[in-house]
Chain A
Amino acid sequence: MVAIPAPPDRQKPVDWLMDKLLSGQGVWPAVPAILILVIVAVIPFVMLLSLGFSDFSVSRGQIIDQTFSMRHLGNVLTDPLYWTTFQRSMSLALSTTAICLLLGYPVAYLFLIGGRWTRRAILIVTIAPLLTSGIVRTYAWLVILGGRGVLNNALLGMGLIDQPLRIVNTHWAVLIGMVQIHLPVMILPLIAVMSRHDRSLEEASANLGASRMGTLRHVILPLSAPGIGTGAALVFTLSYTTFVVPQLLGGGNYLNAATMIYEQVVYSLEWSKASVMSLLLMASCLVVLVGIALVTNHFTRWTRGRQG
């Protein structure tokens, strides 16, 4: 006979809580994150909503006499200025995403086929820019692209142009800056997928008669679909909602949704309009994200067989 010690009848509440949080069952382990999200995201979001859908007056920094109203939403939706602004944001974000993918994929491919040192070099070059602030990197572009900047001086020096090119404060400067800032965000998920890649699949593909191009197209590309999806979603979200780069490199005359919201909050104090615009920004961003998710899902059907 072996006596099994009876579990203590009462557990201290702290122990009970820790036990639940670490049990890995149900939602318990996510409880701390959920609490923080509610505090830092949901509550401000509800407040933002309430500003956008109400008329109110402010007295001594306090909101008084708030009444429900759809006026601001109507105003924004009927004003063509806002439509063009959103359009500009959208096309900027989409082209940033596309260019980042086109530039980032070859880097990830190089990571896949490269040796140990190539891989390290790529990782360092990709991660290093993330260690400096986006604002610093954007200012660096001003130095490079400016009227008397590095690029213009070089081109003038080589005699390729007679007058400095006007790049800063144009659409192009913004696009260049956006691509540079967001490229690592595209490359990292791609690399993550590539480093999990089974090299014997490439050998199998070659053995079955595929050229390098064929292997890239029919094996490596489809298998990196999850990374492409993640990278595209991240770059799109970030570049659709960023305001630092357009603000600095666009020189104040490049207006996208984010810079417009900023101006409404900081300069013209139209909080309701800003609130409605933020909501629209968020909603339209979600629509594109869902689109990206659907496309990615379509190309990663095979991963779903796994549970079966």
Chain B
Amino acid sequence: MTLARDLSLASAADAAQVLRIDKVSKRFGTFTVLDDCSIDVSEGEIVTLLGSSGCGKTTLLRCIAGFLTPEKGAILIDGRNTIPVPVNRRPVGVVFQSYALFPHLTVEGNVAYGLKMHGVPRREIARRVADALASVSLRGFETRYPSQLSGGQQQRVAIARVLVLEPRVLLLDEPFNALDAKLRGTMQVELRELIKRLGMTAIFVTHDQEEALTLSDRIAVMRGGRIEQVAPPDEIFDRPATAYVADFIGLSNFIPAEVRDGKVTLPDGQTLATEAQGPVRVMIRPHNLRAIPQGPGPWQGQVRFQRNVGPLIEYTITAGQSDMHVVALRRDRIRPWGEGDAVSLEVIDPEFCKVYPEA
């Protein structure tokens, strides 16, 4: 009985899996750009590839689209290996970083292009193009050329152009790069809503962590061609698998420490159980630290810098040799610390700290 239920659950999970990237490696000459990358993406999920410049995000995306062929590994879509499938037969839609709109075709021509190439009858083309343009709110722009559109409008054409083909997987390479900061914010939310509404499966590439946190159901953090962690944004932020992820996502404080009897002692005297051995680094998020009036506590410091960011106050507090980042909520009744004030530091919740082996 339970076994049967487990089996049906397993098969349901398999059916929902749209894209499987299985141990993919790619080299350019002797330089390994992708090293044993694996990600599973299920139906309707938005996964972000996040990493610093040159870590191989675009390369992985291009392997999925078929512009590059990996030396090792498999890329499966709906359980079928796509490596031997030519680019123009893959059920994958790419929104290019530069949009790559056809300059000689109107908005309508651009969106109709894929349908034409697939031999869709004219009538249906007209209907589907109109629907696609409506879904990105571009009705009325049909006869314009790409050069007559703003950056945001061009991006929406690029999205409509692939959406109209109803691909199994949508690939977007830094689609917001060319937009100004304000428009970027609104487009991120709009695009996420659109993809969710259509139930599309999507992979985003970005090196902007805020964008990744806004857009994704899960984030894959990449580093030097390897995938460090794949997890939902909350988990990436709260339980980073490696020190690199912790450092890359959000602001962190790292404190060197020594493990004794399976425990680490924090500078404020509290202890934290860990399985790690020997010298370690403890990661404390700025909002897990509190600056209190100077008392007898062992962790003393002095406010070096204080900055107001709307509802938050960011402090840099010099404690011993190192500078600690502390973030506090702004509240009426509590007067913020000023520069030069002497304070004591304490960790709010030791369970929330992470311990990483010394690199």
Contacts and interface: CB of A to CB of B under 8 A. Distances in A.
A and B physically associate: yes
Interface of A: 198, 200-201, 203-211, 214, 218-219, 222-223, 225, 300, 302-303, 305-306, 308
Interface stretch (B113-121, B232-240, B264-272): B113-121
5 contacts: A203-B87, A204-B101, A205-B113, A207-B92, A302-B104
B117 A305 contact: no
Contact of A209 (B100, B105, B145, B165): B165
Contacts of B248: none
A209 B100 CA distance: 15
A225 B105 CA distance: 13
Contacts of A208: 88, 93, 113-114, 117, 161-162, 165
Contacts of A219: 102, 104
A223 B113 CA distance: 15
Contacts of B67: 203
A204 B145 CA distance: 17
Contacts of A300: 104
A203 B93 CA distance: 11
Interface in B116-169: 116-118, 144-145, 147-148, 161-162, 165
Contacts of A203: 65, 67, 87, 94, 96, 100
Given A205-B113, A207-B93, 18 more contacts: A201-B100, A201-B102, A203-B67, A203-B94, A203-B100, A204-B101, A207-B87, A207-B88, A207-B92, A207-B162, A208-B88, A208-B161, A210-B113, A222-B104, A300-B104, A303-B103, A305-B144, A308-B148
A92 to B, nearest CB: 33
Contacts of B88: 206-211
Interface string B213-235: 00000000000000000000000
A214 B117 contact: yes
Nearest to B111: A208
Contacts of B104: 219, 222-223, 225, 300, 302
Contact of A223 (B89, B103, B165): B103
A112 to B, nearest CB: 16
B111 to A, nearest CB: 10
Contact of A302 (B103, B113, B162): B103
A208 B162 CA distance: 7
Given A209-B114, A209-B117, A204 B147 contact: no
A215 B116 CA distance: 12
A214 B113 CA distance: 10
Interface string B313-334: 0000000000000000000000
Contacts of B118: 209
Nearest to A199: B100
Given A200-B96, A302-B145, A206 B102 contact: no
B188 interface: no
A228 to B, nearest CB: 13
Interface in B7-21: none
A204 B117 contact: no
B242 interface: no
Contacts of A201: 100, 102
Interface string B62-75: 00010100000000
Contacts of A210: 88, 113, 117
A277 B153 CA distance: 56
A204 B102 contact: yes
B253 interface: no
B113 to A, nearest CB: 5
A205 B114 CA distance: 8
B288 interface: no
Closest 5 CB pairs of A and B: A208-B114, A305-B145, A209-B117, A204-B100, A200-B100
B98 A200 contact: yes
The winner among B87, B96, B145, B162 for most chain A CB atoms within 10 A is B87
A211 B116 CA distance: 12
A204 B96 contact: yes
Interface string B171-196: 00000000000000000000000000
B347 to A, nearest CB: 49
Nearest to A304: B145
A131 B92 CA distance: 49
Contact of A305 (B65, B89, B98, B148): B148
A204 B92 CA distance: 11
A198 B146 CA distance: 14
Contacts of B105: 302
Contacts of B100: 198, 200-201, 203-204
A303 B146 CA distance: 10
Interface string B47-62: 0000000000000000
A53 B105 CA distance: 50
B178 to A, nearest CB: 13
B165 to A, nearest CB: 7
The winner among B93, B101, B113, B165 for most chain A CB atoms within 10 A is B113
